[in-house]
Amino acid sequence: MIITVIHMKYYKHLLSLKIFTTEDIILLCGNVNTAHSIITSYQKRKLIKRVRQNLYIALDKYKRHSVNKFMIASKISKNNYISHYSAVEFYKMSKEFNKEVYVSGGTRFNTFSFEDYNYYYIKPKICEGVVTFNNISITDKERTILDNINDFEKIGGIDILYDILPRFCECIDYDKVLKYLSLYNKQSMYQKTGYLLGEFDWTDDFHKSFFYECSKHIGNAAGYLYSELKTKEKRKFDRKWRLYVPIKAGKHRKINEEEPRKSKYYTSDIISSSDWGLIGGHKVSHQNWKGNY
């Protein structure tokens, strides 16, 4: 009985954390054995719920929790962060929510499911371009669009890109895109990025200079926008980008040249949204991200 009373004093703190690891409980109580005893006791009483090995969420008196998939994704292991299409969803640039949650950085983990969501690890190609919103780590918009271009065959196909590109094109920093492209250091990324963003009818000098910079990194080797063009789908050759693309590809829509280069989607719009269950008003923290790659 005494042990139970002592253990219960930690519950309020865990409830405020919402999501936590075994290490967090050890730091809280100061003893490994006590920490494991707390976990066992709290699970039996349905005060906490196991997400996966070493990761738990706190339940209120109604056995409910306020943890969303983004909070889980950035807490799976040290230095993990939300990436790819999941980052698109976080920035409210997608039309629908997916059951797949994509995570990069930190320590690789095996795919697992929790409350109808499947969590996947994708090995990152670069380390820069990670920001933090209220302790949730995520790729910035420029890194997000490039990661999706690089890995779109893993996360749903070319239609995913044609869906999200119009919303990203008007709110990304193209100088930063060029910086990340240099870190990718792949001719195919310059080709695909130049071609896909060039699908929109740009008319201003700034974007023309961006495409010129991309074109400087293209050699004589021809590439394919995606692998099925090698064998299954009808294709055509884009001479400017030396890239085989689908026959149906063409200009998608004209971008308003008078709209500002900088994002019209402000940080406060993202953070204060009740859709994510986040607390508003915090500034974005850019990090020189270091993890196990």
Q: What is the pLDDT of residues 6-61, one digit of tens each?
A: 467 899 999 999 999 999 999 999 999 999 999 999 999 999 999 999 999 999 88
| Confidence label for 4 from pLDDT (cuts 50, 70 and 90) | low
pLDDT at 270 (0 to 100): 38
Q: What is the pLDDT of residues 202-246, one digit of tens each?
A: 656 667 889 999 999 998 889 999 988 988 888 999 999 999 999
pLDDT at 197 over 70: yes
pTM of the entire predicted model: 0.80
pLDDT at 2 (0 to 100): 43
pLDDT at 287 (0 to 100): 38
pLDDT at 289 over 60: no
Angle, in degrees to the nearest 10, between helices 187-198 and 174-184: 150
pLDDT at 195 over 90: yes
Q: What is the pLDDT of residues 100-158, one digit of tens each?
A: 999 999 999 999 999 999 999 999 999 999 999 988 999 999 999 999 999 998 888 88
From residue 159, alpha-carbon distances to 65, 140, 151, 196, 249 in Å are 34, 22, 13, 12, 11
pLDDT at 159 (0 to 100): 86
- Residue 117's H or E segment, with its range, is strand 117-121
Q: How far apart are CA 139 and CA 109, in angstroms?
A: 18
pLDDT at 132 (0 to 100): 94
pLDDT at 256 over 70: no
Q: How far apart are CA 264 and CA 259, in angstroms?
A: 9
Q: What is the pLDDT of residues 163-183, one digit of tens each?
A: 888 888 888 999 999 999 999
Residue 157's nearest CA partner among 238, 105, 227 is 227
Q: What is the pLDDT of residues 62-107, one digit of tens each?
A: 888 989 999 999 999 889 999 999 999 999 988 777 899 999 999 9
Q: What average pLDDT does the chain have?
A: 82
pLDDT at 259 (0 to 100): 39
Q: Where are the domains of the chain?
A: 2-58, 69-287
pLDDT at 204 (0 to 100): 64
Where helices occur in the chain by DSSP H, the ranges are 2-8, 11-17, 22-29, 32-44, 69-73, 84-90, 141-151, 158-169, 174-184, 187-198, 205-215, 267-271
pLDDT at 205 (0 to 100): 64
- Cβ-in-10-Å burial (0-12, 13-18, 19+) of 105 comes to buried
